[in-house]
Amino acid sequence: MSINFESFIEWDNSPFILFNHKGKILYLNNAAEILFGYVSKKELYDIALSYAPQNFGYKTTALSLNYDSFMFYAITVGYENEEELSLRLYNTPRIKPSKKLETDKLIITDINILLEANIALFKTKNRNHLTLLTDQDLPPFKLDQNNFSKLLRKVLDAFRASDSIDITLKLIIGQHVIIDDKKQPIVRLSIHANGRYTNADEEIRTLAIPSQIKCITKEYGIDLEIPLIS
């Protein structure tokens, strides 16, 4: 019996990369192709070399890797000859909120209004320069207005001492999230500056969970991936 496993790897949700002995990419699956938008070839090759088994074979190591919104909890590095080295990264599972999102109780909201109101609140306390780039054509969608406002307040507050703050709000093309067995588009709110406070990050992540918002905290910014529930 002969089975062609290549298409299974091609469509696997976890990135898979095959390097040659000089670090040149011989093959990469779809997930790895997206990942290379956020991490360099060299960085992943170096990781593969560092965690490669001493002899021919495969070795799985548990380690935490974060590249933008991509999070991995383990890698497998393997080689069967001197020419090729493979690296597989395992996606960290998304934390499912213990409480189900009651979409019936959510209110259809223009997110731009909530964003502007929170910026006005931020301006009552701070004089930082702030630029806002939003998609005014985003349709109103279902949101817990109060919880989302609290989350926005906390997120903006992390930038209270930043010199210049860039806020962008846009629809992510081609990505979806499943809520109540329905495929929902995702809106990304990115707030970036030259630096920020990180002491409220845990609280921000906790506030994001009940609204099924994915929160990506970085050194210079915070991204919120909000499900556009219709």
Partner 1 sequence: METFFTTCDKIQHIIKSFNLTKTLFVSSIIIGEAHTGKKTLARYLFPDTPLVSGSNQAEVELALETYDELIISDFEKLSNQSSLNFDNKRIIATANYLGNSLLIDTLFAFIYTMPTLAERPEDALYLRNKFAKEASDTLMLEYQQSVTDTIPINLASNSKSLKKTIYQHLMKQTMHIDDITEMLYHYLYTHLEGNDNYREHLILYEKPLIEAGLKKYGSQLQLSAALGINRNTLRKKIHEHHIS
Q: Which residues bind partner 1 (CB under 8 A)?
A: 105, 107, 109, 113-114, 116-118, 120-121, 123-125, 145-147, 149-150, 153
| Helices and strands (H and E) in the chain: how many | 6, 12
Per the CB < 8 A criterion, the answer to whether 67 and 39 are in contact is yes
Report in angstroms how near the CB of residue 148 gets to partner 1 at its nearest.
8
Nearer to partner 1, 117 or 161 (CB): 117
Q: Phi and psi of 158, rounded to 5°?
A: -65, -15
- Retrieve residue 177's tokens: 């999230």
Nearer to partner 1, 118 or 212 (CB): 118
Q: Phi and psi of 178, rounded to 5°?
A: -95, 120
Nearer to partner 1, 125 or 176 (CB): 125
Report in angstroms how near the CB of residue 125 gets to partner 1 at its nearest.
7
Neighbours of 85 (CB within 10 A): 21
Nearer to partner 1, 75 or 144 (CB): 144
Report in angstroms how near the CB of residue 24 gets to partner 1 at its nearest.
52
- Retrieve residue 221's tokens: 């910014």
71 forms bridges with which residues in the sheet? 66
Nearer to partner 1, 46 or 116 (CB): 116
Cα distance between residue 112 and residue 96, in whole Å: 27
Cα distance between residue 73 and residue 11, in whole Å: 20
